Chain A
Amino acid sequence: MVEKRVSEAVLLKAMSTGADYAELYVEDMTSDNVSMIADCVDSANTSRDMGAGVRIFCGTNSVYAFGNGTDEKSLMELAAKVAAAAGTASSAGIDIVLNEVKFDPVCRAEIPALSVDKKIRTDALKQAYFAAKEYSPEIVQVSGVLASSCKRIYVANSDGVIGTDERPYIRLAVSAVASDGNENQSGFTGPGNSAGFEFIQSLDLKAHGREAARIATTMLHAGKCPAGKMPVVMDNAFGGVVFHEACGHALEATSVGLGNSVFCGKLGQKIANEKVSAVDDATMISEWGSRAMSDEGEKTERIQLIKDGILTGYMIDKLGSRRMNMRSTGSGRRQNYAFAPTSRMSNTFICPGSDTRDQIISSTENGLYAAKMGGGSVNPLTGEFNFAVMEGYMIRGGKICEPVRGATLIGKGYEVLLNIDMVSDDLVLGQGMCGSISGSIQTNVGQPMIRISEITVGGEIE
């Protein structure tokens, strides 16, 4: 995307005032979305987003500049901006020799989505849409989006690396609203992959539409969730958002590297129940959070975060690596050129355990079964997290009973990890968008069914 000669000149210019590292990032992304509401195609939008960013380090301090121009003149201007901000010292004798590094592709689009006729893509969306709409007369509104995009990135840095990566993304999202005239309830499904249109072809589109509608109608007839501390059984797939919020963010160098995480200095120590092992793996083929190359031009990897309850690793980017004096794990990510990269999760999940679903439910006398989770957030410093239960049921006498709504789970990450006392064997991943200081990015959460022996459930006081 950029001539080698230009990249070398940009990096030299960027380092001309004393920086000890420089990086050029160029991106070209095309997205194409079709959305439906009120039973018809409501909007269609195609966008092309191009831009570049230049970053330098002076020790553990960083300077970043971005712009939309990707021609030589614009890139040199970015380099001049960061150099000016770094100081006035002149660096003599810097030599940069760039070599192209090949990364084996991790995400492949067999059928590039953007090359598929829009009518065909729209028809796929309609199948899911109308399956949701026709599920029940209580479904009063459905909205759906089929989002396709392809991002090409180019990184050149003063370590001598030139790397490129191509990232296809495709996601179907369906939201359904059920109403009885007095109250509304909603349900959502959103399967996605870093792949092409073949992913959509592999889905049972109608089943995904019906699932969103089923959740909405179930919740319409649900009573309010009782409040208080209780055992919670959390199902697989998007249930993994608990680990993502409660633990994952606090294992990113973004917080660990600055001493702002409850898990600082805890490597080798027990931080979770021995039944818990967890991994962040960007190398899974075509998964939503996968990529071959980090946004800093490094090879991605599978990181064992927790093994049998013992903390074994952090997710580390280049700047974090400097701050922590540890090797980078290729975890540098960003939404796009408008953000400097930082350490982020990719596909992060609790590994399968040895309990079964039946054992977990039947051994829980009373509690909450969180079948589907909504989103959540966390303060990595204090470990305090919260997340919403989209579809919940009471458990009584070891059996799943009536549905309940309006439940929120709150707690502290380091406490909840120790309280995971059962882990089933049925790992499934779930797709989400994760927001942090380097923007909103695709991440998979995941887990098998787990039980938390006790957690605060926000709901209604009886």
Chain B
Amino acid sequence: MSKINEFCEKILSYAKAHCDGEFEVYASSGESFRVGILEGQIKDYSVNDYSGISFRIKKNGKMGYASTTSCDEDGIPALVENACRNAALIEKPDEQFIFSGSASYPSPKVYGEELDGITAEEKIAFAKLMEQKAKEADPRIIKVETSLVTSGKSTVVIKNSNGMDLCEDSNFIAGYVIPIAADGEKMNDGFGFCGGFDRACLDVDKAVKKGVLEAIDFLDAKPVKSASMRVIFRNSAFCDLIETFSGIFSSENAQRGLSMLAGKEGEKIAADCVTLTDDSTLDFGFGSRAFDAEGVAGRRTVVVENGVLKTLLYNLETAYKAGVESTGNASKGGYTSPIGISVSNFTLTPGEKTLEELAAKMGDGLIITEVSGLHAGANAVTGDFSLMSKGYLVEGGKTGRAVTGVTVSGNFYELLKNIEEPGCDTYHNMFGAAVSSPSVLIGVPMSIAGE
């Protein structure tokens, strides 16, 4: 048994001997590796391991939390006592749950065995190669800000007084590169990456191509005049929007009045072409897992079907309150966080057209390839967004010059209704939430602020 597993058992034994009530240990531990290359040399190198243990106890119907990073037995009494004290502060009237386990669990593949065999030397060599290829890709690439490989593996353990005993290992590897292009005084950077669960996904050419293209294409980018314009959100930009607003599908937000989708289950909330599913059981999905943060089995949930909201996403507490079953979307932001709700692999079902075909259909407008400042310029409670954007001008159905220094403004709830057509070019977001989306053509003009 691993050290962390053993320590969790010790906490449970201590709690059994000293406390009434139901209780649970949630532990997350793992290793991480990172190497960054600059000018063919190792710029930074980091190799780490970590563990975090959260204990929660339900006393008199109220749940209290405490956590620690130390596997020191002397710290156990304080951990348990803090959780008990915190439980006594809670006023929330809602029924709390320490789960006894699902009848069966899916076993999505989330661990790439092949990654264990990739040595630090290979990772260093890959980062060096990525830098070299980026520099050689175009004379305008003057340097590479970062060429980096990062990998990690982690283990989640949940054990509780109701007999639950779950454990899941996962891993990943990723490389990313930030080439810098210059033309006279003008400089611009791009971001390229690759990654996944086996050797093959370390695709140096894919990462370099994307990063270099971005760095070069936007060297001469200029704003457009402020106008109301037709818009296509390219796949990765729409992933970012969906991720930012994914909280509107949380039943917790709905029950708290923080989502305008409260009470809309069964109603039309989006265009006919919109189908959104959440599926934690996909093999090698970045959001895949056998069980959620409460130990409820992972599953596939159709959230929006042909524009109709079929269900929100639930954990045990919100599901009980709504009289439905948990959808297995309980989550913890980190091991210290209380239980919340988030998407697993959240996917907008693709259509049939390529990005070029969508642009041809749009005629005149803007393809938005990147939105930034989402943590500030998008309000998940109101749905409003006003975001700095980059992209390409489309004239007569043809993609033209690069555009930067503009903002796109709108409201996500309105946007869902105004999607005219999703494309066929599904993109899987690797950073942040595991959202997948194709490019989408919006059916109404949007506000673009520029010059």
Q: Tell me which of A196-204, A265-273, A308-316, A406-414 binds B.
A: A406-414
CB distance from B425 to the nearest CB of A (A): 26
- One of B38, B47, B87, B372 near A85 (C-beta < 8 A): B47
> Contacts A48-B70, A376-B376, A388-B377: A406 and B228 contacting too (C-beta < 8 A)?
no
Q: Tell me which of A63-71, A150-158, A299-307 binds B.
A: A63-71
B145 and A66 form a contact (CB under 8 A): no
- One of A118, A228, A375 near B449 (C-beta < 8 A): A228
> Contacts A381-B187, A456-B449: A184 and B388 contacting too (C-beta < 8 A)?
no
A386 and B387 form a contact (CB under 8 A): yes
Hey, which chain B residues are within 8 Å of A406, CB to CB?
Answer: 384, 386, 409
Q: Mark A353-395, 1 if CB is under 8 A from B, else 0.
A: 0000000000000000000001111010110111110000000
- Does chain A have a CB within 8 A of B93? yes
- One of A31, A44, A184 near B381 (C-beta < 8 A): A184
> Contacts A141-B256, A456-B449: A40 and B91 contacting too (C-beta < 8 A)?
yes
Output the nearest chain B residue to A260 by Cβ-Cβ distance. Answer: B145
B69 and A50 form a contact (CB under 8 A): yes
A381 and B386 form a contact (CB under 8 A): no
CB contacts under 8 Å to A, within B327-353, are 336-338
- Interface size class, chain A: 35 or more
- One of A34, A41, A85, A407 near B45 (C-beta < 8 A): A85
- Does chain B have a CB within 8 A of A405? yes
> Contacts A46-B66, A183-B382, A227-B226: A387 and B376 contacting too (C-beta < 8 A)?
yes
A48 and B228 form a contact (CB under 8 A): no
Name which of B45, B51, B91, B189 has the most chain A CB atoms within 10 A of its CB. Answer: B45
> Contacts A41-B92, A44-B90, A47-B66: A377 and B373 contacting too (C-beta < 8 A)?
yes
- One of A45, A183, A387, A458 near B65 (C-beta < 8 A): A45
Q: Mark A160-190, 1 if CB is under 8 A from B, else 0.
A: 0000000000000000010100011110000
A186 and B180 form a contact (CB under 8 A): no
Output the nearest chain B residue to A56 by Cβ-Cβ distance. Answer: B45
B145 and A408 form a contact (CB under 8 A): no
Output the nearest chain B residue to A389 by Cβ-Cβ distance. Answer: B386
A408 and B409 form a contact (CB under 8 A): yes
A61 and B376 form a contact (CB under 8 A): no
A141 and B64 form a contact (CB under 8 A): no
Output the nearest chain A residue to B445 by Cβ-Cβ distance. Answer: A461
Hey, which chain A residues are within 8 Å of B257, CB to CB?
Answer: 140-141, 177, 179
CB contacts under 8 Å to B, within A190-247, are 224, 227-229
Q: How far is the CA of A42 from the CA of B256 in the complex (A)?
A: 12
- One of B38, B46, B384 near A65 (C-beta < 8 A): B46
Q: How far is the CA of A224 from the CA of B407 in the complex (A)?
A: 14
B48 and A67 form a contact (CB under 8 A): yes
Q: How far is the CA of A184 from the CA of B67 in the complex (A)?
A: 35
CB distance from B243 to the nearest CB of A (A): 16
A227 and B407 form a contact (CB under 8 A): yes
CB contacts under 8 Å to B, within A15-41, are 31, 34, 37-38, 40-41
Hey, which chain A residues are within 8 Å of B384, CB to CB?
Answer: 405-406
Q: Mark B8-49, 1 if CB is under 8 A from A, else 0.
A: 000000000000000000000000000000100111111111
Q: Mark B73-111, 1 if CB is under 8 A from A, else 0.
A: 001001100110111011111000000000000000000
CB distance from A348 to the nearest CB of B (A): 17
> Contacts A45-B336, A48-B68, A118-B85: A63 and B449 contacting too (C-beta < 8 A)?
no
Contacts across chains A and B counted by CB atoms under 8 Å: 236
Q: How far is the CA of A382 from the CA of B218 in the complex (A)?
A: 11
B48 and A66 form a contact (CB under 8 A): yes
Q: How far is the CA of A442 from the CA of B83 in the complex (A)?
A: 27
Q: How far is the CA of A141 from the CA of B228 in the complex (A)?
A: 34
Hey, which chain B residues are within 8 Å of A41, CB to CB?
Answer: 89-92
Output the nearest chain B residue to A86 by Cβ-Cβ distance. Answer: B45
- Does chain A have a CB within 8 A of B404? yes
Hey, which chain A residues are within 8 Å of B87, CB to CB?
Answer: 44
- Does chain A have a CB within 8 A of B396? no
- One of A34, A40, A43, A48 near B69 (C-beta < 8 A): A48
- Does chain B have a CB within 8 A of A340? yes
- One of B49, B404, B409 near A227 (C-beta < 8 A): B409
- One of A43, A47, A376, A377 near B90 (C-beta < 8 A): A43
A410 and B338 form a contact (CB under 8 A): no
- Does chain B have a CB within 8 A of A81? yes
Q: How far is the CA of A228 from the CA of B450 in the complex (A)?
A: 6
Q: Mark B362-384, 1 if CB is under 8 A from A, else 0.
A: 00000000001101110101111
Hey, which chain A residues are within 8 Å of B44, CB to CB?
Answer: 61-64, 340
Name which of A47, A183, A461 has the most chain B CB atoms within 10 A of its CB. Answer: A47
Hey, which chain A residues are within 8 Å of B93, CB to CB?
Answer: 40
A186 and B381 form a contact (CB under 8 A): yes
Hey, which chain B residues are within 8 Å of A140, CB to CB?
Answer: 257
Q: How far is the CA of A406 from the CA of B386 in the complex (A)?
A: 6
A62 and B43 form a contact (CB under 8 A): yes
> Contacts A38-B256, A40-B93, A47-B336: A459 and B447 contacting too (C-beta < 8 A)?
yes
- Does chain A have a CB within 8 A of B322? no
> Contacts A64-B44, A406-B384, A456-B223: A386 and B89 contacting too (C-beta < 8 A)?
no
- Does chain B have a CB within 8 A of A10? no
Q: How far is the CA of A65 from the CA of B68 in the complex (A)?
A: 20
Q: How far is the CA of A377 from the CA of B370 in the complex (A)?
A: 14
Hey, which chain B residues are within 8 Å of A377, CB to CB?
Answer: 372-373, 375-376
Q: How far is the CA of A376 from the CA of B374 in the complex (A)?
A: 8
Q: How far is the CA of A47 from the CA of B78 in the complex (A)?
A: 10
A410 and B407 form a contact (CB under 8 A): yes
- Does chain A have a CB within 8 A of B154? no
> Contacts A45-B86, A410-B388: A458 and B189 contacting too (C-beta < 8 A)?
no
A122 and B89 form a contact (CB under 8 A): yes
- Does chain B have a CB within 8 A of A400? no
B447 and A460 form a contact (CB under 8 A): yes
- Does chain B have a CB within 8 A of A457? yes
Q: How far is the CA of A44 from the CA of B91 in the complex (A)?
A: 10
Q: How far is the CA of A408 from the CA of B385 in the complex (A)?
A: 9
Q: How far is the CA of A31 from the CA of B71 in the complex (A)?
A: 18
Hey, which chain A residues are within 8 Å of B227, CB to CB?
Answer: 461
Name which of A66, A387, A388 has the most chain B CB atoms within 10 A of its CB. Answer: A388
Name which of A338, A340, A461 has the most chain B CB atoms within 10 A of its CB. Answer: A461
The 10 closest A-B pairs by CB, nearest first: A458-B407, A227-B449, A375-B376, A386-B388, A44-B86, A40-B91, A408-B386, A386-B373, A46-B82, A47-B67
25 residue pairs of the A-B complex, CB under 8 angstroms, read A31-B336, A41-B89, A41-B92, A44-B86, A47-B66, A48-B67, A49-B52, A50-B70, A63-B42, A63-B44, A64-B44, A68-B69, A85-B42, A85-B47, A118-B89, A140-B257, A381-B180, A385-B388, A386-B377, A386-B387, A387-B377, A388-B386, A411-B405, A456-B451, A458-B377
What 11 additional pairs, Cβ within 8 angstroms, besides A47-B336, A227-B449?
A: A40-B90, A42-B90, A46-B82, A63-B45, A68-B51, A340-B44, A377-B376, A384-B404, A386-B388, A408-B449, A459-B407
